[in-house]
Structure 1
């Protein structure tokens, strides 16, 4: 199993612009996936940006999400 330090050392061999591009793309991907997940449970996807910008609020936000009412669960399935 690779150690975290081994993957960080990979960035030392890359050009600066490529390492920055990888970091920016991974952050963008994470925010987008969090936005999609929030949208699927009936919340505003922009909360993903708020949680990312204020990372210490992540734990409080997760508790709020887990303990609040989920609008998607209140919807009745279509009759068929």
Structure 2
């Protein structure tokens, strides 16, 4: 039981203390910090989705509590287009093939 209390204390120190400090400021500052964090979440989520060949608009799902975790979990297991494509040939092979065709 003592170990569980120490884990809860650690989690409170890591996760709750920064949020308590943010929320203890004036409402304007707290809302600004939350807006910046949400914007970064959407930007990075959209960037990852675009890199994976999906529409960046799917990042809007990240705004729904609970659905964001499910969406990230599902996206981790879908098919990624760049994994299935053929690997690119090295540049040296391309120049040799181009030189051979000019003879």
**Same structural fold, with TM-score higher than 0.5 when normalized by the shorter chain:** yes
Closer/same/farther in 2, CA of residues 54 and 6 from structure 1, 3 Å limit: closer
- 2:40 aligned with 1:29, yes or no? yes
TM-score by length of 1: 0.73
Q: How many residues align?
A: 78
- 2:68 aligned with 1:58, yes or no? yes
Structure 1 stretches of 5 or more lacking a match?
none
- 2:42 aligned with 1:71, yes or no? no
Structure 2 stretches of 5 or more lacking a match?
1-9, 91-103
Report SS of the residue matched to 1:72: helix
TM-score by length of 2: 0.60
**What is the RMSD computed on CA atoms of the aligned residues?**
2.2
